[in-house]
Amino acid sequence: MDHPLRLLPSIKAIQDSEVYIKWKKTASISETYLTALARDVVEEERQALIAGKPYESKEEVHRKILTAFDKRVRELLEPLLTQVVNATGVVLHTNLGRARLSAKAADAARVAGSSYTDLEFDLEQGNRGARTAKIEALLRLLTGAESAMIVNNNAAAVFMILRTFAKGKEVLVSRGELVEIGGSFRVSSIMAESDAQLIEVGTTNKTRIEDYAENLTENTAMVMKVHQSNFKIIGFTEAASRQELAELAAKHGLLFYEDLGSGALFDYGRLGFGQEPVIPNIIKEGVDLLSASGDKLFGGPQAGIILGKKHLIDRLKKHPLARTFRTDKMTIASLGATLQSYLSEKLEVEIPTVRDVVADAETIKTRAIKLKKALALYPSIQAEIVPLTSRVGGGAMPDVPIKSYGVKIQSSELPAQTLADRLRTGTPSVIGRIEEAHVLLDCRTITDEEIDLVGQAFAKLDFKKRL
Ligand SMILES: *Cc1c(COP(=O)(O)O)cnc(C)c1O
C-alpha cells in the first residue's frame, strides 16, 4: 500500500484543475493567492492524514481537496457583511449591527468614502480646517451642551474620560450601576485599565447621596453615574438624583460624569415608550460631562458622543488618546447626516431607529398582512397574523414591551427549527425566532421593501407552489 501522504495531489495538479482555472479566469484572482490557498488546503489535508484520518483512494482525496479549495475561494470573495432581514422585532440588535442608518446617513458615508472631501480643509480660507467642527456645532445646538466631541465608540469615551480626569484617583460609582454589557464591557474593568480606582458606594438597590458623601477622600476625582442599560432594579429602590450628585461634586471640586449608554436625543417617553431621559434635560440637571453611543437609541453609526463643559472637553481633545480614538470620515459623514435629521420635524420618518421604535401597531399589522399574502403561494405553509411584543434592544429600555404584529409560520414539510435554519442560511438571510412549533417573523423591524425580500427567500426554499 502507498504511504498515506502519497495520496496528496501536487500543487501543480491543483493549478491544472478546472476549479483553479475557473477562479483564475472568472474572478481574475492573482496566481500568488490562488497558489497560497491551494497550499493551505493541501497542508490541512496532510495534517489530517498524519493525524490518522482513514485511508482513502487517491481520487477521493483529490476531489475533497478541490472541493475545499473551491469553497475557500468562494468564501473569501463573498461580501464581508451579508445583508440580513431582521425579523426578531429587536430594533437595536447588537449581533445584527445595532442601528440601521437612514438613507441620508448611508449615502453620506458612501460619498465620504468614495471621494475626496473637506475633512480637514477649510474651503473658504483655503487652509487646514477642523475635522469635526460642523458635527460639534450640530451636537451643541441639539443638546444645549457647551461643547462636544466624538470618538470611536462609547467604550472609548468612558476610557478616555476616566484616564484623563481620574488616573491614579478615586471614582465613586453606585453599586446599583456596576453594569456589564454584552461583549465583556464592564465598568470595573474599564476603570482598572484607565488606572482609576473604583469606589463602590451604597447597595445594589439603594444608594443615597450620603453614601457618596461618606466615601469622599482627598483622592476622589469624580462622581460617575452609569446608565443601567440592560437591566432594571425594581421594587425597593432608591438612587441619588442628578441634581444631588451635581451639587455634591461642585461643592467638593469634583467632576460629575454620566455614562449614558444608549443616550436618547428623541423623547421616546413622551410617546409612551419607556422613561429614557433625553440628553438636553440631563445636561440641564448639571452633569459636567456625559457620553453615549452613536448607534444605540441615537440611531446613527458606531461612535462615542461626548458632551459637556468646554474646559473639560478641551482637555480631552488635547489628550494623546484623542488621536487613538478618533472617528473616520465615513462616521463623521453619517453621524452628521443623522444629526441633521434630528433638526427636522420629519425625524420620526427619517431616522430608522426612531421610526421603528415608535411605529404604531396598526402600521406593522399592514406589513404583516402583506407578508402573509406573499406566503399564501405555498400550500404547505400555514401563516397566521399574530400580535407580538418587540423590544428596543441594544441595552436600552429592557423593561419596555412594544406592541407589534408579525406572522406565525408553520410548514407541513419542515419542522420549525429546520425552517428557521433554512431561512437564516438562505438568500437573503431572514432571522426570526422560534416559539413552540412555529417560526415567528416580527414585522416591526422589516421594512416594506424587505417584505419582498422575505418573499424571495421563501421562493428559494423550494416549497411546492399553489397552482
Ligand atoms: C453600550 C454601553 C457602553 C458601550 O458603548 P459602545 O458604543 O458599544 O462602545 C458603555 N456603557 C453603557 C452603560 C452602555 O450601555
DSSP readout, 290-320? EEEESSSTT-SSS-EEEEE-HHHHHHHHHST
For range 310-317, the mean pLDDT: 98
Cα-to-centroid distance, 237 and ligand 1 (Å): 23
pLDDT of residue 269: 93
Residue with the nearest Cα to atom 13 of ligand 1? 261
Contact 445, 389 (CB under 8 A): no
Cα-to-centroid distance, 391 and ligand 1 (Å): 18
Is any ligand 1 atom within 6 A of the Cβ of residue 181?
yes
For range 117-143, the mean pLDDT: 94
Residue with the nearest Cα to atom 6 of ligand 1? 154
Q: Is the pLDDT of residue 254 over 90?
A: yes
Q: Which of the pair, 64 or 239, is modelled with greater confidence?
A: 64
Residue 121 amino acid letter: F
84-92+356-459 — its CATH code?
3.90.1150.180
Average pLDDT, the chain: 93
For range 278-288, the mean pLDDT: 97
| Residue to substitute in 92, 95, 150, 154 for testing ligand 1 pocket (most ligand atoms within 8 angstroms of CB) | 154
Any bridge partners for residue 388, and if so which? 404
pLDDT of residue 2: 63
Residues of each domain in the chain carrying CATH 3.90.1150.180: 84-92+356-459
Is any ligand 1 atom within 6 A of the Cβ of residue 331?
no
Contacts of residue 65, defined as CB under 8 A and 6 or more positions apart, other chains included, come to 8, 9, 14, 41, 42, 45
Pick the CATH number of 103-350 from 1.10.3210.10, 3.20.20.20, 3.30.420.40, 3.40.640.10: 3.40.640.10
**Digit-coded pLDDT (tens) for 346-402:** 999 999 999 999 999 999 999 999 999 999 998 889 999 999 999 998 878 888 999
pLDDT of residue 233: 72
pLDDT of residue 404: 97
Cα-to-centroid distance, 292 and ligand 1 (Å): 7
Is any ligand 1 atom within 6 A of the Cβ of residue 229?
yes
Query: Residue 413: pLDDT band by 50, 70, 90 thresholds?
Result: confident
Low-confidence winner among 109-113, 129-133, 235-239, 309-313 (lowest mean pLDDT): 235-239
Residue with the nearest Cα to atom 2 of ligand 1? 261
Query: Residue 1: pLDDT band by 50, 70, 90 thresholds?
Result: low
pLDDT of residue 185: 76
Is any ligand 1 atom within 6 A of the Cβ of residue 185?
yes
Cα-to-centroid distance, 429 and ligand 1 (Å): 27
CA distance 232 to 210: 22
Cα torsion through 135, 136, 141, 146, rounded to 10: 170
Element (H, E) at 221: strand 220-226
Q: Which atom of ligand 1 is nearest to the CA of 395?
A: 15
- Range 445-458 burial, b when 16+ CB lie within 10 A, else e: bbbeebbebbeebb
pLDDT of residue 334: 98
- Closest C-alpha among 332, 283, 330 to residue 133: 332
**Digit-coded pLDDT (tens) for 176-226:** 888 776 666 788 889 999 999 999 999 888 899 999 999 999 999 999 999
pLDDT of residue 181: 67
pLDDT of residue 183: 62
* pTM reported for the whole predicted model: 0.92
Q: Is 323 exposed, middle or buried (0-12, 13-18, 19+ CB in 10 A)?
A: exposed
Cα-to-centroid distance, 294 and ligand 1 (Å): 10
Is any ligand 1 atom within 6 A of the Cβ of residue 293?
yes
CA distance 268 to 240: 23
Q: Grid coordinates representing 70?
A: 473551491
208 φ/ψ sector (left φ>0, alpha ψ -120 to 50, else beta):
beta
